[in-house]
Amino acid sequence: MTPALTGTAPFTVSASRDYDPAVGSLSAMSLGSYEIDMTGGEAARRLFAAGARHVTLPRPVDVTDTADAAWSVRALSFVGDLSSLAISVDWQLHTGPDPEAWRHYSHLHPPTAVLGTADPAATALAWRNAYYICKCVFRYGPGFIQVRDRRYGELRRFTIDEPEYHEAIEALTDGALADAIPQPILDDLMAETLVLRLGDHLWWAPYRVRRWSEAPLVI
């Protein structure tokens, strides 16, 4: 299949049937390697259907490296798709020295280290302590898209019904080039931190939810 984001090559992950990496390394629990050559959502669903409950990315995601932005955007989207299915992810994120930058990504399954910070392990621990599933999600309704975002400590809820915004979100779901999204729409989405720009690429932060893990009023 053709990768969703133009210019990105397929990449290989390893998967196992158990959330505990030590258990997952046993021959009966390991699912081996999977090549991700499709959209992140489809890949995550196929891995889940195959029994995967833990996935390891091949290398760190560095959001400070604009030359590697295509990989970063695609990897972040894939981690979001895995998080939406409660599949744990063994990965590392390089956010740079800003001690609060991790909060933009805090709805994703916590990484083992947040590189570039003064204390990568301590920042990852703060992330784990604040993490819960469905922290920043979007869902489709009849004629609208709803976003619920608690990354910054309070519920921010957006109901989007304009067709041109729906088209933009569809294009953004697995990452997009910056010039693929009309500038007024991009400005609106970036102002709410629903889209982050990495070099010439864009990452749509919320992941799609198909079933609430709790009553939606709680989330």
Read off the pLDDT of residues 161-181 as tens digits, 9 standing for 90 and up: 999 999 999 999 999 999 999
The pair phi, psi for residue 32, each rounded to 5°, is: 75, -155
Q: Calculate ∠ Cα 69-53-32, nearest 5°.
A: 75
Q: What's the first-to-final CA gap in the chain, in angstroms? A: 35
Helix residue ranges, H only, 85-212 = 120-130, 163-172, 183-191
- Tell me, yes or no, whether 51 lies in a domain: yes
What's the pTM?
A: 0.91
- My answer on whether 194 and 89 are in the same domain is no
- On the question of pLDDT at 20 being above 90, the answer is no
Is the domain of 95 the same as that of 15? yes
pLDDT band at 218 (very low <50, low <70, confident <90, very high): very low
- The yes-or-no verdict on residue 7 having pLDDT over 70 is no
| CA–CA gap between residue 118 and residue 121 (Å, rounded) | 9
140 and 166 both lie in a single domain: yes
Within its chain, how far is the Cα of 71 from the centroid?
12
**What is the average per-residue pLDDT within 5-29?**
83
Q: Are residues 123 and 68 in the same domain?
A: yes
Place of tokens 């922290």: 135
**Cα-only R_g, the chain:** 17
Q: Looking at 89, 115, 130, which one is the last position of a domain?
A: 130
Residues 19 and 106 in one domain: yes
> Does 213 map to a domain?
no
pLDDT at 19: 86
For residue 115, give its domain range.
Answer: 11-130
190 and 168 together in one domain: yes
When pLDDT is cut at 50, 70 and 90, the band that residue 211 belongs to is low
What SS3 state is found at 58? coil
CB 10 within 8 A of CB 3: yes
Residue ending a domain, among 130, 147, 175, is 130
User: If pLDDT is split at 50, 70 and 90, which confidence band does 213 have?
Assistant: low
Q: What is the reported pLDDT for 9?
A: 82
Q: What is the pLDDT of residues 21-70, one digit of tens each?
A: 888 788 889 999 999 999 999 999 999 999 999 999 999 999 999 999 99
Classify residue 104 by its DSSP letter.
G
What's residue 27's pLDDT?
82
- Asked if residue 218 belongs to a domain, the reply is no
1 occurs within a structural domain = no
Rounded to whole angstroms, the Cα distance separating 163 from 182 reads: 13
CA distance 97 to 118: 7
Domain identity same for 90 and 141: no
d(CA 19, CA 90): 10
The arithmetic mean of pLDDT across residues 132-141, rounded, is: 94
Residue 217 pLDDT exceeds 60: no
User: 70 and 120, same structural domain?
Assistant: yes
List Cα–Cα distances, 81 to 41, 46, 88, 136, 154, in angstroms: 5, 11, 11, 12, 23
Position 3 pLDDT exceeds 50:
no
Tell me whether residue 191 is in a domain. Answer: yes
94, two tokens: 């390089």
Total domains in the chain come to 2
Residues 6+ apart with CB under 8 A from 13: 33, 34, 36, 55, 56, 57, 58
